[in-house]
């Protein structure tokens, strides 16, 4: 068993999730403390500018200079968040065998027309290792991209461990409602996964565009609006929904153009309906027939969306992660902590059914602090 502190920053740029996990990277999983730390406004501003630079970054060109500034900012943000978290929980960096950091995604392009994809999770593992005195595993997606995979979703291997640990009856479906929605189907065939479409990302953008906050609390505003079915159909006509699974999305593969001109309330209602329809299309695509659907990610707090999903997937049982004793807000930070141990052991974190790689593949880049006396087991 290894004690790991995992970090996750999502595409919503809302903060840093941290979770402690004791695990062998296989079947044993024991939860420790977890927390969500808001992202400082100045860090978010740098990252938003970095994302805009990444979106116009030509293949083969040197990376934009702002990437370096963003790496420094995100490392500093992680250090500040971690120090506060550790102080609050009576812990120290020296209590951990390894730190697991997802890094900030600023670009994700799926493989297309024979070209490998591109994915960028900005971080500096060596700098973080030096600052904390603990080995760091990060850059979990690059090996999968180089092998021709989608590099997403990566959480299925952890979803499987949680299901096994809880003794849940299969088939089971885990739905993560983050900036992008993705699903993990666990059944006798193994693991199948894909990104299904936008979840919170577009709705949060719509809220910010109208200066109404960062998110629609419990989906209350969306619940008052009218769904414009023609706009939902326009979104669903996107080529992405014609592609076979597994497949992955960047948060910015879809935009708000289709709903321009709608009222604030109708725009939210229509985006919520699009999230639902794209989710149902993804479930149908992989022919998942789950007995239980587990909802995780920030979207599980959107009561309007949860009610829509529950009604659409009846008679299957829809539960929140917390109903099973899982920590919905910590799930991804825990998942990368789990994958860090697998990385150290050379165990796979992506699979043919989850990212499209030809064979199960390890991932994760290991960085050691200066003068580290010995390597961890590999």
Q: What pLDDT is stored for residue 378 in this prediction?
A: 45
Q: What pLDDT is stored for residue 376 in this prediction?
A: 54
375 is in an annotated binding site: no
Rounded to 5°, the CA angle 130-133-134 comes to 105
184 and 169 Cβ atoms separated by less than 8 Å:
no
Read off the pLDDT of each residue in 33-38 and give the average, rounded to a whole number. Answer: 96
125 is in an annotated binding site: no
Read off the pLDDT of each residue in 219-243 and give the average, rounded to a whole number. Answer: 97
Per-residue pLDDT reduced to its tens digit, 234-251: 999 999 999 999 999 987
Residue extents of the structural domains in the chain: 2-152+360-367, 156-324
Per-residue pLDDT reduced to its tens digit, 100-111: 999 999 999 999
299 is in an annotated binding site: no
47 and 104 Cβ atoms separated by less than 8 Å:
yes
Q: How far is it, in rounded angstroms, from Cα 321 to Cα 331? A: 9
Per-residue pLDDT reduced to its tens digit, 304-333: 999 999 999 999 999 999 999 999 889 999
Per-residue pLDDT reduced to its tens digit, 332-369: 999 999 999 999 999 999 999 999 999 999 999 999 99
171 and 160 Cβ atoms separated by less than 8 Å:
no
CATH code: domain 2-152+360-367 is 3.30.420.40
pLDDT band at 58 (very low <50, low <70, confident <90, very high): very high
Q: What pLDDT is stored for residue 375 in this prediction?
A: 56
pLDDT at 11 > cutoff 90: no
- Burial-class residue 91 by CB neighbours within 10 Å (0-12, 13-18, 19+): middle
Closest C-alpha among 12, 66, 64 to residue 39: 12
pLDDT at 59 > cutoff 90: yes
Read off the pLDDT of each residue in 69-88 and give the average, rounded to a whole number. Answer: 98
What's the per-residue H, E or C state across the chain?
Answer: CEEEEEEECCCCCCEEEEEEEEECCCCCEEEEEEEEEECCHHHHHHHHHHHHHHHCCCCCCCCCCHHHHHHHHHHHHHHHHHHHHHHHCCCCHHHCCEEEECCEEEEEECCECCECCEEEEECCHHHHHHHHCCCEEECCCHHHHHCCCCCCCCCHHHHHHHHHHHCCCCCEEEEEECCEEEEEEEECCEEEEEEEEECHHHHHHHHHHCCCCCCCHHHCCHHHCCCCHHHHHHHHCCHHHHCCCCCCCCHHHCCCHHHCCCCHHHHHHHHHHHHHHHHHHHHHHCCCCCCEEEEECHHHHCHHHHHHHHHHHCCCEEEEHHHHCCCCCCHHHHHHHHHHHHHHHCCCCECHHHHCCCCCECCCEEECCCCCCCCCCC
Instruction: Let me know if domain 156-324 sits in CATH 3.40.50.2000.
Output: no
13 is in an annotated binding site: yes
Percent of the chain predicted with pLDDT > 70: 99
11 is in an annotated binding site: yes
15 is in an annotated binding site: yes
248 is in an annotated binding site: no
pLDDT at 228 > cutoff 50: yes
Q: Which two tokens stand for residue 115?
A: 């070209």
Per-residue pLDDT reduced to its tens digit, 142-201: 999 999 999 999 999 999 999 998 889 999 999 999 889 999 999 988 999 999 999 999
Q: Which residues contact 197 (CB under 8 A, 6 or more apart)?
A: 180, 181, 240, 241, 249, 254, 274, 275, 278, 279, 281, 282
Tell me the average pLDDT of the chain: 95
353 is in an annotated binding site: no
Q: What pLDDT is stored for residue 10 in this prediction?
A: 86
- Tell me, yes or no, if the two domains 2-152+360-367 and 156-324 fold the same way: yes
């Amino acid at each position: 068993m290894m004690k790991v502190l995992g970090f996750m920053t999502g595409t919503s740029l809302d903060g840093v999730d941290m979770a402690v996990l004791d695990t062998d990277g296989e079947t044993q999983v024991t939860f420790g403390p977890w927390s969500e730390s808001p992202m400082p406004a100045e860090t978010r501003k740098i990252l938003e500018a970095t994302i805009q630079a990444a979106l116009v970054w030509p293949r083969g060109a040197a990376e934009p200079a702002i990437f370096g500034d963003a790496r420094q900012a995100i490392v500093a943000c992680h250090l500040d968040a971690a120090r506060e978290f550790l102080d609050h929980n009576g812990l120290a960096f020296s209590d951990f065998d390894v730190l697991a950091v997802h890094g900030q995604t600023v670009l994700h392009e799926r493989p297309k027309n024979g070209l490998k994809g591109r994915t960028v999770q900005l971080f500096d593992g060596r700098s973080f290792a030096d600052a904390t005195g603990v080995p760091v595993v990060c850059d979990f997606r690059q090996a999968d991209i180089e092998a021709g995979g989608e590099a997403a979703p990566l959480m299925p291997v952890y979803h499987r461990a949680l299901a096994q640990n809880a003794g849940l009856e299969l088939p089971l479906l885990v739905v993560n409602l983050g900036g992008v929605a993705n699903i993990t189907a666990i059944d006798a065939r193994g693991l199948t996964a894909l990104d299904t479409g936008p979840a919170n990302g577009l709705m949060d953008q719509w809220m910010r565009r109208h200066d109404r906050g960062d998110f629609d609390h419990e989906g209350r505003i969306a619940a008052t609006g009218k769904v414009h079915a023609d706009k939902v159909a326009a979104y669903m006509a996107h080529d992405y929904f014609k592609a076979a699974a597994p497949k992955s999305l960047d948060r910015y593969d879809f935009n708000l153009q289709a709903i321009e001109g709608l009222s604030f309330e109708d725009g939210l209602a229509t985006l919520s309906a699009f999230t639902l329809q794209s989710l149902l299309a993804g479930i149908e695509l992989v022919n998942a027939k789950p007995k239980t659907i587990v909802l995780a990610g920030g979207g599980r707090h959107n009561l309007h969306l949860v009610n829509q999903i529950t009604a659409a997937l009846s008679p299957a049982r829809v539960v929140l992660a917390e109903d099973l004793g899982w920590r919905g807000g910590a799930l991804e930070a825990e998942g990368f902590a789990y994958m860090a141990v697998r990385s150290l052991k050379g165990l796979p974190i992506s699979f043919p059914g989850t990212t499209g790689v030809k064979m199960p593949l390890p991932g994760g880049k290991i960085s050691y602090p200066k003068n580290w006396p010995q390597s961890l087991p590999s």
